[in-house]
Amino acid sequence: MGKYKEKILDRSIWLSATPPLPARSLPFYIMEAGHFIATNGYTVKRDSHDSFLLLYTIAGFGTINTENCAFSLPPGNCIIIDCHSAHEYFCVENSWEFLWIHFNGCNMKEMHDILYNSDIRATQIDDNNSFQRQIFSLLKLIEENNIENCIEVSAKFHYIFNDIYRSVVSSDTAASVSAHSQEVDKVIEYIKNNYSSPITVDDMVSQIHLSKYYFIRIFKRIIGITPYGYLTNHRINVSKQLLRSSKMSISEIAEQCGFLDDSNFIYQFKKHTGQTPLHYRRDFSV
């Protein structure tokens, strides 16, 4: 669709890129990007598109509709949409100035899920000047599709993704962090002191004054994994140290680290590291 048909002003920027095949194994690669000044009536509606889409409003307002939600995107706000599902976005005032990037990358679906946890929503970016500079620097790179530029684009986009994630967590957990950081810290300390015992999430919750399900949600949003997942990771980390530095048997290490039995220890260790405890020990043997 041409610029006039899409109702964007002539001074808008619309760039396309075709990354070489090796670049498609990078964490991020860009297919299209632009800086649009859209007028009233500008609308994009798709059933699906093989990409993810970053939208960031500089001025005016846009509205985004997905299968699960609808919301506006005011100035200084950003969103990443999974375009594999039906979506629509359009100008709701006389004009909408925004930056956009269609991109993809290895494990992007998992990264999108980490970013939004349960539902997508507009996010106020903490440092808008820095964020805009980073995106405009990307626009200067993407037209040259050599592998060196693609690697630089991926690295720069990683910083952009980090900025969005920090802003999401900041807005999502500001009240929770201020109100419940001590409870989360207390549970982490409890885990570190009691990991060798058969503790449960109920045991963790008994140390604080929050309901079980609210605590699990707050813990996961702040730390990134569930309380029991954190416990398992801590046990695995301690077992790694013992496998490397001691002559304890697998059974002794399993018991020392709080696993139910040898089989559970071996299963969990392989699930989290990709190898059995014995193979891990042999890799670190002199």
How far apart (Å, rounded) are the C-alpha atoms in residues 15 and 17?
A: 7
Residues 180, 210 contacting (CB under 8 angstroms): yes
Q: Range with the lowest mean pLDDT among 151-165, 167-181, 205-219?
A: 167-181
Residue 59's Cβ-side half-sphere holds a number of Cα atoms within 13 Å equal to 8
Q: Give the domains, in start order, of the chain with CATH numbers.
A: 13-171 (2.60.120.280), 229-283 (1.10.10.60)
Residues 42 and 8: beta-carbon distance below 8 Å: yes
Mean pLDDT of 155-174: 79
Whole-number average pLDDT of the chain: 88
**Token couple for 49:** 């598109």
d(CA 143, CA 223): 38
| Mean predicted confidence (pLDDT) in 56-75 | 90
Alpha-carbon distance of 253 to 278, in angstroms, equals 11
Q: How confident is the model at residue 178 (pLDDT cuts 50, 70, 90)?
A: low
Beta bridge partners of 90: 43, 63
193 and 258 Cβ atoms separated by less than 8 Å: no
Residue 171 has a pLDDT of 65
Q: What is the pLDDT of residues 238-271, one digit of tens each?
A: 999 999 999 999 999 999 999 989 999 999 999 9
Q: Which of 72-81, 97-106, 176-185, 200-209 has the least mean pLDDT?
A: 176-185
Instruction: Please measure the distance between the N-terminal and C-terminal CA atoms of the chain and give it in whole angstroms.
Output: 64
Where residue 5 falls among pLDDT bands split at 50, 70, 90?
low
Tell me which of 198 and 109 has the higher pLDDT. 198
- Does pLDDT of 179 surpass 80? no
Cα atoms found within 13 Å of the Cα of residue 103, Cβ hemisphere only: 33
pLDDT tier at 116, thresholds 50, 70, 90: confident
**Pairing state between β 70-73 and 52-66:** antiparallel
| Contact (CB, 8 A) for 218 and 176 | yes
Percent of the chain predicted with pLDDT > 90? 56
β-pairing verdict for 77-82 and 123-124: antiparallel
What is the pTM assigned to this prediction?
0.70
Using CA atoms, how far apart are residues 35 and 221, in angstroms rounded to an integer?
Answer: 32
Each residue's pLDDT tens digit, 222-237: 787 899 999 999 999 9
Paired tokens of 255: 């018991």
Among 75, 87, 20, residue whose Cα is nearest residue 51: 87
